[in-house]
Amino acid sequence: MNREQSFLFLSRMDKYLQQIDRALEMIEVGTYGICRVCGKEIDEARLKAVPTTRICFTCKQNEAKAAR
């Protein structure tokens, strides 16, 4: 059980580190804070709450609705 939990934890950490790396790359090329769906700027409050996000709040809501 502990090994399974450790594996899940490490897997989540790896995914988060990949998201951070992607965000850093986007900063370097000047695309950080631009929604990948609509192309508009992502609100600063959302970026502060979820710094690795690549999608604005409106588009995220629309994705969630579509998934239901």
pLDDT at 54: 95
Q: How many structural domains compose the chain?
A: 1
- pLDDT tens figures, 10-67: 999 999 999 999 999 999 999 999 999 999 999 999 999 999 999 999 999 999 999 9
Asked whether the predicted pLDDT for residue 1 surpasses 80, the reply is no
pLDDT at 37: 96
Strand partners, 34: 41
Instruction: Name all contacts of 52-59 with Cβ < 8 Å and 24+ positions apart.
Output: 52/16, 52/19, 52/20, 52/22, 52/23, 54/22, 54/26, 59/35
Q: Where are the alpha helices (DSSP H) in 30-55?
A: 44-49
Q: In terms of residue numbers, what domain contains 63?
A: 2-67
CATH of the domain at 60: 1.20.120.910
pLDDT at 2: 86
pTM comes to 0.77
